[in-house]
A and B are shown apart, each in its own frame.
Chain A
Amino acid sequence: MSVSVETSADSPVPARPGQPQSAGLNAMQPYCRLETRGEGTLLHLTGEWVLDRLPELNAALGRLAIDPLRPLTIDGSGLERLDSAAANRLIAHLDGVGIPFPMLSLSGFSPQADTLIHLVAGRRSICTAPPLRRRGMRRALGWHVFKLGRATVSSLAFLGQTGHAVGRLLARPALMRTRELVVQLEMVGVRALPIVVMMSYLIGVVFAYLLGIQVQKFGANVFVVDGVGLAITRELAPLITAVLVAGRSGAAFTAHLGAMKVNQEIDAISVLGLSPWQVLVLPRLIAIVLMLPLLTAIADVAGILGAAQVASWHLGVTPTTFFDRLQEVLPLKTVVFGLIKAPVFALAIGLIACHNGFTVQRDARSVGLNTTATVVHSIVAVILIDAAFAVAYPEIK
């Protein structure tokens, strides 16, 4: 004797039109339907039970009214395909309504599907927390505080290690890695020349042009030389050069050291009995400290040439007048002041960049994060140091 069963009235999904749900008829649904047979219930599976249909399968399962107290048999003879995701959903759903897998009987499944169901049933585990966890406010705050603390400690340790390495190098100059230093001098200095020259020349042009418009109002064209000389040598050239080098060499240091860290090359250097500070950090630091003042001096010249160009074109100040006036109004002290800032900027950039390179974690994301941090931190550091210099030595002759 066979009695059909309707889906329960409180089923969360209303019956769709065209799908007879009345008593006395089989509840014809896609994918699955129930049939009462004697004491037990028969669950017929039909169609494609695959990952792509998972939402519909889940809805179809939700519409079934399964009585957990009757023995349930699953009939897989109508299945076209079955994959592990769908098999898992079926088992999980039945488990959820109170029929654990060992209580089920399977019939009509292909041997392949039968193995699959048993594998999934044997391996599946109860769903625990959702895959995306959010940190609470307090957790986030604590995490950031500890991160800041760790960063401070690690910066101090890095500074100490670097100081130690410098001390050893001074005691034994033979420790200097000359080849690496030469490579870095080229990378940091020579390769940066075109961009530094071009940028400072353009800054000189723009600055002289704008200043020229102002001084022209007073017919004091020649005074453009005073402004340009002071601004370029004291502030613009050192700052522009430092920012360019921070973005160029600073980022390169972090990315290079970071990639080496990911590749365990830094560990390899230590294991060879060499100091990563002697091999990697010092050549870079020395190169950047030597090269930044030189680049700044070149930037001074390029900027002033740019300004002289604009002065002769737009303001009628001939180059001869320009440079005569420059010699009168620009004391060497101002130029030297600008150049003295450069090695301090360089030291900050080099330390920040190398430290960020050494603190890269062993994954690709970390290299990107630390490189970004290097550029941002070193530019901020450069501007802060510049401000400190301006406050400490405010006198302008």
Chain B
Amino acid sequence: MTGGMVVEVEHVRTRLGGRWVHDGVSFGIPRGQVAALIGGSGTGKTVLLREIVGLERPTEGRIRLFGEDLAAVSQTRLDALRRRFGLLFQDGALFSNLSVAENVAAPVQERLRLSNALMCELVNLKLSLVGLPLEAAYKRPSELSGGMRKRAALARALALEPELLFLDEPTAGLDPIGGRDFDRTLRVLADSLGLTVLLTTHDLDTLYDLTDRVIVLHDGRVIADGHVKDVAQTDHEWIRSYFMSRQAN
């Protein structure tokens, strides 16, 4: 076990639909880092994220979370590990039969008994941390705008005070202003709560605003890994056209 690595991906290969989506992907994320996975559509970013949280299994290779091999741990141990991280799904995946406040309270209620006043205080804190107005607390997810739904989902992901946060396309579907706002919120939360963050994104601005490190997936491999400014200089066709698209606008 490597010291200080929260997430370790070692030589992961994944076969999906008759083709190798990942063909030997390796990286490690140390505590406190905000890292982004980028790559074209269909390069398996989301699949990799699902493998790291244990929703799917890689065909070959090893994934470690907090130093524990996901393939070797029992279901109970996996559940215990899962309480230490939060996951923000692409479209929020809020429970549609619960109000926003109940959504945020749900993971806490599963874990410990709190008086109504304490629970209310906790829910309000999480909603304020992600910048949701308190009126939104009583609404159902279907009554919220896309940006607010993302924030509500982030509040739920933060409910159990995770050390590690996974975000799948956090700014997809948000307008540029809302997207930058969300990035700033995430950066502040990551710094002050001491979170380790792994996110997938298509949003170049997110890379510059939010991340410490960018990992580029292409043809099933990591083709570049480093700070966004260094990655942007990499001499590779896909990376060049990816970063060129920003200047073209």
Contacts and interface: CB of A to CB of B under 8 A. Distances in A.
Interface residues of B, number: 40
Contacts of A131: 99, 101-102, 105, 116, 119-120, 123, 137-138
A84 B123 CA distance: 12
Contacts of A119: 129, 188-189, 192-193
Interface in A230-278: none
A366 B194 CA distance: 39
Interface in A15-67: 50-52, 54-55, 58
B102 A132 contact: yes
Nearest to B100: A131
A111 to B, nearest CB: 10
Given A55-B113, A55-B114, A127 B108 contact: no
Given A84-B129, A132-B102, A363-B140, A51 B121 contact: no
Contacts of A112: 192, 194
Contact of A88 (B102, B122, B142, B189): B122
Contacts of B102: 131-132
Interface of A: 50-52, 54-55, 58, 83-85, 88-89, 92, 112, 115-116, 118-120, 123-125, 127-128, 130-133, 361-366
Interface in B74-97: 96-97
Contact of B161 (A51, A58, A364): A51
Contacts, number: 95
Given A52-B112, A123-B128, A131-B120, A364 B101 contact: no
B244 interface: no
A84 B134 contact: no
Contacts of B174: none
Contacts of A118: 192
B160 interface: yes
Interface string B184-211: 0000110111100000000000000000
The 4 lowest CB-CB distance pairs between A and B, nearest first, are A363-B96, A131-B101, A365-B97, A119-B192
B121 A83 contact: no
Nearest to B113: A55
Given A85-B125, A127-B117, A127-B120, A366 B96 contact: yes
B140 A52 contact: no
Contacts of B191: 115
Contact of B125 (A88, A115, A363): A88
B43 interface: no
Contact of A133 (B96, B138, B160): B138
A115 B193 CA distance: 8
A79 B234 CA distance: 44
B58 interface: no
B118 interface: yes
B246 interface: no
A175 B213 CA distance: 57
Interface of B: 96-97, 99, 101-102, 105, 108, 111-125, 128-129, 131, 134, 137-138, 140-142, 158, 160-161, 188-189, 191-194
A84 B126 CA distance: 9
Contact of B128 (A50, A55, A125, A133): A125
Nearest to B102: A131
A130 to B, nearest CB: 5
Contacts of B122: 51, 54, 85, 88
A52 B131 CA distance: 24
Contacts of A127: 117, 120-121, 124
B113 A89 contact: no
Contacts of B193: 83-84, 116, 119
B164 to A, nearest CB: 14
Contacts of A132: 102, 116
A197 to B, nearest CB: 39
Given A84-B129, A115-B191, A133-B138, A124 B124 contact: yes
Nearest to A133: B138
15 contacts: A51-B112, A52-B111, A52-B112, A55-B118, A84-B158, A116-B193, A116-B194, A125-B128, A127-B124, A131-B101, A131-B123, A133-B138, A361-B142, A362-B142, A363-B142
B101 A363 contact: no
B90 to A, nearest CB: 15
B40 to A, nearest CB: 25
Nearest to A88: B125
Contact of B134 (A51, A52, A128): A128
Given A120-B125, A123-B129, A125-B124, 5 more contacts: A118-B192, A125-B134, A131-B123, A362-B142, A364-B97
Contacts of A364: 96-97
Contacts of B96: 363-366
Nearest to B142: A363
A115 B99 CA distance: 31
Given A54-B112, A112-B194, A128-B124, A83 B161 contact: yes
Contacts of A89: 118, 121
